[in-house]
């Protein structure tokens, strides 16, 4: 697939960081598996990954968490167990 942002390169498997902000809450999830454009850096997430991220952020929001930096592997381990 060609990157839809720069239209210059084929996307490749890689990793990205996913920032989330809701009101006062700010979370960052690092090492998220993604398809990344080697030219412009745009990252595309699979639906399964996106769903896990959104579930994690919703859980943290319901717990009252305001800030945090997490690794994607923490999320997968927690959801899969």
The second-level CATH assignment, the architecture, of 12-80 is Roll (3.10)
- For 2-21, write each residue's pLDDT tens digit: 999 999 999 999 999 999 99
Residue 65 pLDDT exceeds 80: yes
Cα dihedral value 21, 17, 31, 3, nearest 10: 130
Q: How far apart are CA 17 and CA 37, in angstroms?
A: 14
The better pLDDT of the pair 81, 54 is held by: 54
Q: What pLDDT is attached to residue 35?
A: 98
Residue with tokens 């999830």: 29
Q: CA–CA separation, 31 vs 43, rounded Å? A: 12
């Amino acid at each position: 697939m060609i990157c839809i942002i720069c239209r210059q390169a084929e996307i490749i498997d890689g990793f990205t960081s996913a920032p989330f902000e809701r009101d006062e809450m700010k979370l960052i999830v690092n090492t998220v598996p993604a398809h990344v454009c080697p030219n412009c850096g745009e990252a595309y997430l699979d639906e399964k990954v996106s769903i896990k991220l959104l579930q994690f952020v919703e859980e943290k929001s319901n717990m009252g968490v305001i800030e945090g930096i997490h690794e994607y592997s923490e999320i997968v381990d927690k959801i899969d167990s």
